[in-house]
A and B are shown apart, each in its own frame.
Chain A
Amino acid sequence: MTWIWSNLDFIWDRTLDHLVLSVPPIILSFLIALPIGWLAHRFRLGRGFILISVGLLYAIPSLPLFVVLPAIVGTSGRDPLNLVIALTIYGVALMVRVVADGLASVDPDVRLSATAVGFSGWALFWQVQLPLAGPVLLAGLRVVAVSTVSLATVGAVIGVQSLGSLFTDGFQRGIEAEIVAGIVCTVLLALAFDGALVALGRLLMPWSRPARPTRSSAPLTPGPKALGAAVHGGEAAK
């Protein structure tokens, strides 16, 4: 306990490092997965191939990836960029399938009627399909966020400072409190990300909350499609 009190600054700095390392991969993996997932959704024939090959990226063990990346990208061995790229790859691997599934979850009747009233292809994607895929995208993004925060700790092994540094340092010096502090802070940070995404979802998708009963009448149709519950809780330990 005393270690924690006397090292609050150190813990706080590592938390900030961790935050800075985690945010870009989450945003990047979403942006990169969007067009790939759209392709997988749009072209039936390519779907299986795209989803499987992108999904396989997740199977690459992280340590060898850190070894190979500098050679491919041309970064130095201890550049935090290596970690950001690796985490983005894992994020994309998770997110592409989510995007494809999310677009597929849009009610075909809604798509049909949107086309019938005169949405062009471009407007249909941005104004109808993407927002309606939102709940599924959000569910997937929450998994990516939590998984990224957890994976970022590995950076400590290759000398990139993060909350993982509390594990490595704690092990080497035999300070249990430091390890525990690292674990607790990682979990708290993951929860904070998750909470922020949920709040963002509420803000951007007010329609996806369960319908309030109307006073005047009658049977309510069920709200938007149930979110991919299966994606939840799949925090990946790697």
Chain B
Amino acid sequence: MIEFRSVSKQFPDGTLAVDDFSLVLPSHKTTVLVGSSGSGKTTLLRMINRMVDPTGGAIEIDGVDIAGLEPVKLRRSIGYVMQNSGLLPHRTVVDNVATVPLLRGVPKKRARADALALLDTVGLERSLADRYPSQLSGGQQQRVGVARGLAVNPNILLMDEPFGAVDPIVRAELQQELIRLQRELGKTVVFVTHDVEEAFLLGDQVVILRQGGRVAQVGSPTEILASPADDFVASFVGADRGKRALHLESQGGRDILVDSEGRLAGVLTGGSRPGEADPVPGSGASAQGGDSR
């Protein structure tokens, strides 16, 4: 469990990146911090492995205040995956994955064997092991990044917009892969993104941030969509418009879902009509198909 207690961060130039932020990130769940640029989401993420130290408040991991931990040691115990993979260009794929275990003093032979096994875990062929990162596609690099993040079998995995720089098809693939991995491994994942769709897809808990690292709303995707805390959240998640604002129309005896612009979004195949039993509108759970992305 990671807990933020009234955490603030003011940078030397005076910018208040995070203001009195409190949150509990439950273990074995994925928490997604979502916000536009300037919302302090990356700063919050980097506070967890002490890349950034707060100027006020405290952060605890499993009840231990991390301010008292040695930063380098702390970082080696937490997985970190970033945009553009952040791989070391002068090391081969397998050496990149083995980087942190080697820093922690694991014997070279074992570190490499473990790294090869991790390539399997993230769905990469072992034949890529001796390539350099520049010889891989963007999606492959990102998978190596995830493998590196998992290499020390950390409890916590920090992911800073890891899929931000790959094309939409590969991104969708990587997202599904992460969902699969998370089902198998059950890490405490902290995921930063500016993409609401991605946040709702991956997050057990979604935190919507407004400027200056202030929480606009915390909840499950369903809770946030069903009852946005305010207009900011409603507009941020797009609950009031486009393909999120669906209504039912009857057509030839079937219920079809139509979005606010009159486009067909899907067919209602199960569940019940609003008003009959399920009072939650637009939970999206029973709508299928028609995603126009």
Contact = CB atoms under 8 A, between A and B. Distances in A.
A6 interface: no
B236 interface: no
A217 B89 CA distance: 18
B135 interface: yes
Nearest to A107: B89
B132 A116 contact: no
A2 interface: no
A72 B155 CA distance: 62
Contact of B75 (A116, A219, A222): A116
Contacts of B103: 117-119, 123
B82 A113 contact: yes
B101 to A, nearest CB: 11
Given A109-B86, A112-B86, A207-B90, A221 B76 contact: no
Given A118-B72, A123-B103, A211 B137 contact: no
B134 interface: yes
Given A109-B82, A211-B135, A220-B134, A116 B49 contact: yes
B3 to A, nearest CB: 21
B80 interface: yes
A157 B72 CA distance: 56
B89 A120 contact: no
Given A109-B86, A114-B88, A207-B132, A217 B140 contact: yes
A223 interface: yes
A115 B80 CA distance: 10
A110 B76 contact: no
Query: How many of chain B's residues touch chain A, expressed as a range?
Result: 35 or more
Given A118-B75, A219-B138, A110 B89 contact: yes
Contacts of A208: 90
Contacts of B91: 207
Interface in A189-214: 205-208, 211-212, 214
Interface in B63-91: 72-73, 75-76, 80, 82-91
Contacts of A114: 86, 88
B181 interface: no
B69 to A, nearest CB: 12
Contacts of A219: 137-138
A116 B137 contact: no
Contacts of A115: 51, 75
B112 interface: no
A77 interface: no
A132 B89 contact: yes
Given A118-B75, A118-B76, A217-B140, A113 B134 contact: no
B100 interface: yes
A230 interface: no
B196 to A, nearest CB: 25
A103 to B, nearest CB: 14
B148 interface: yes
A216 B127 CA distance: 11
B90 A117 contact: no
Q: Which of B75, B86, B141 has the most CB of A within 10 A?
A: B86
8 contacts: A110-B89, A116-B82, A118-B73, A119-B103, A131-B90, A132-B90, A211-B135, A218-B139
Interface of A: 107, 109-110, 112-120, 123, 128, 131-132, 134, 205-208, 211-212, 214, 216-224
